[in-house]
Structure 1
Amino acid sequence: MAVEAQGAEEGGLVFHPMDQFIVKPLFGGSEVGMFTITNVTLWMFLAVLAVVALMVLGTSRRAIIPSRTQSVGELAYGFVYKMVEDVAGKDALAFFPYIMTLFMFIVFANFLGLIPMSFTTTSHFAVTVVLALLVFVTVTVVGFVKNGSKFLGLFWVASAPLALRPVLAVIEVISYFVRPVSHSIRLAGNLMAGHAVIKVFAGFAAIAVVSPISVVAITAMYGLEILVSFIQAYVFTILTCVYLKDALHPSH
């Protein structure tokens, strides 16, 4: 209570919800350089390790009667495979390994971030922007390699009245180059907001008067964040499939 009083007197928060997103070096010093191993590096590595454990080690036996781990791996495989086939078409299945890797990494990064005292790597724009830019560059290169100059047909709405086509073309070009921004902000923003709210309720839980309410609220928010973690990975992946479809079939 003395700490709370001191914080109130100083006019600041007793707890700081955004502190959980601070990037910190794991070894020595406080400065973060290009090759510094940080908490982001650690939890990204753990996410990759979890994906390998599930999809490689968990399915290595390929038993006719699958174990629980193999069943989860097979369900994830079938879920993403059907998503790619249904959204982008059968000719997009060549990119299934990339999309599957993207989905599994985001899912595990999101879920690992729900562990107390962990770090949510996908709440940082530095991570999600890289993922979004990789998708953007891949889709653009595929579009030009497969279709050549016909890929520019993506920006020309042939079904619209002729007078409106130049205006719509400008809008289509702008919306195309905005894709990496919306793609990355949607993922990072949702996770950051959810974790910040949980942290706020956790801070209020220390106050005896509202403690029961805070515990209920934290439980509800935590359950919601589990759902959001999966949904955001799904949204990021299905948008990747939509963009890939545009690259493979650019004509309106």
Structure 2
Amino acid sequence: MAADGPGIDPMHQFLVEPVMGHRLAFGGYDLSFTNSALFMVIVFAALWLFMLGGMKRALVPGRWQIAVEGVTNFVSSMVQANIGAEGRRFTPYVFSLFMFILFANLIGLIPLGVVPGWHPFTVTSHITVTAVLAFVSFAIVLIVGFARHGFHFFSLFVPLGTPKVMIPLIFVIELASFLVRPFSLGLRLFVAMTAGHILLDVFASFVVQGLNSGPGIGWLVSLLSFVMIVGVSALELLVSAIQAYVFALLTSLYLNDAVNLH
């Protein structure tokens, strides 16, 4: 969060900036290590520590191991329920998606703004990141679909029982719906995370402006805004988990179409 007079600029948290303000240029390209890259490293490090602590395979599992095994079984069950027994081969990818998005969402909620000069950065609040995740998933669906079914994969766009005279129209509609999937997949996560963080900063701005306005109605506004921040933060924790689940769930459903042509 960046102060802008008595208020707070809600969009500052989304700026991609070089760490410590130092830019590195080479051959006309900006190779600076940015806050976006820093938080991606933090996300991967947190994931590595989480998985490392839960893969000890102790005879009597501790809480950490139980947590890791619980998440793994949860994703594995979801994938197999949506794809079937063949879904096991896709479990590592869907699990990686789910965990990366979940950790990125949660780490972006760490209140670093209380430290002068620091602010949290949510990598999933950038369309470039969510779009890459969505298009990689879509590319895997296409590869699996054509590798398994060849050109018969196009039958996915013609539902069983479609009258022959309607096939051209239905094919175009189903194909357009299929091609929109990666865009909706990436936009859903991007919009959900961006909107929540903007809302938090707006209420934070009300808190600052209320305190600066002095005793009376200003302090009451600050108190109410702070209560809203607490409530929205709790909601954001829930949204962070839900968005990770939805992204993983939809990916498994799209893979089911590629594997089983449903």
Q: Same fold (TM over 0.5)?
A: yes
Pick the aligned partner of 1:105 from 100, 103, 113: 100
Matches within 5 A, 1:30-69: 33=29, 35-55=31-51, 57-69=52-64
State the shift of 1:65 in Å. Answer: 2.2
The answer for the alignment partner of 1:10 in structure 2 is none
CA deviations on 1:157-214 (whole Å, 9 max, x unpaired) are 2322222221111011111111111000000100000010011011111212301101
Q: Say whether the 8 Å CA contact 2:18–2:32 is kept in structure 1.
A: yes
| SS of residue matched to 1:119 | coil
Matches within 5 A, 1:62-77: 62-77=57-72
Structure-2 change in CA distance of 1:123 and 1:31 (3 Å): farther
**Range with bigger deviation, 144-153 or 58-67:** 58-67
The answer for the alignment partner of 1:19 in structure 2 is 12
Gaps of 5+ in 2: 112-118, 211-218
Q: Say whether the 8 Å CA contact 1:154–1:246 is kept in structure 2.
A: yes
The answer for the alignment partner of 1:173 in structure 2 is 175
Matches within 5 A, 1:122-161: 122-161=124-163
The answer for the alignment partner of 1:234 in structure 2 is 245
| SS of residue matched to 1:64 | coil
State the shift of 1:128 in Å. Answer: 0.4
- Paired with 1:159 and 1:222, the residues of 2 have a C-alpha distance of 49
Paired amino acid for 1:26: V
Gaps of 5+ in 1: 8-13
State the shift of 1:49 in Å. Answer: 1.1
Alignment RMSD (CA, Å) = 1.8
| SS of residue matched to 1:15 | strand
Structure-2 change in CA distance of 1:226 and 1:135 (3 Å): same
CA deviations on 1:68-121 (whole Å, 9 max, x unpaired) are 211110111011000000011111211111111111111000000000222100
Paired amino acid for 1:23: V
**Range with bigger deviation, 21-30 or 177-186:** 21-30
- Paired with 1:190 and 1:30, the residues of 2 have a C-alpha distance of 31
- Paired with 2:30 and 2:180, the residues of 1 have a C-alpha distance of 27
Q: Say whether the 8 Å CA contact 1:54–1:70 is kept in structure 2.
A: no
| SS of residue matched to 1:244 | helix
| SS of residue matched to 2:164 | coil
Structure-2 change in CA distance of 1:202 and 1:31 (3 Å): farther
State the shift of 1:31 in Å. Answer: 8.1
Paired amino acid for 1:216: V
TM-score normalised per structure 2:
0.87
- Paired with 1:81 and 1:125, the residues of 2 have a C-alpha distance of 28
Q: Say whether the 8 Å CA contact 1:25–1:37 is kept in structure 2.
A: yes
Pick the aligned partner of 2:91 from 92, 96, 100: 96
Structure-2 change in CA distance of 1:27 and 1:205 (3 Å): closer
- Paired with 1:22 and 1:86, the residues of 2 have a C-alpha distance of 40
State the shift of 1:36 in Å. Answer: 2.3
Paired amino acid for 1:164: M
The answer for the alignment partner of 2:114 in structure 1 is none
| SS of residue matched to 1:24 | coil
- Paired with 1:217 and 1:65, the residues of 2 have a C-alpha distance of 43
- Paired with 1:216 and 1:108, the residues of 2 have a C-alpha distance of 25
- Paired with 1:29 and 1:52, the residues of 2 have a C-alpha distance of 28
What number of residue pairs does the alignment pair up? Answer: 241
**Range with bigger deviation, 150-159 or 23-32:** 23-32
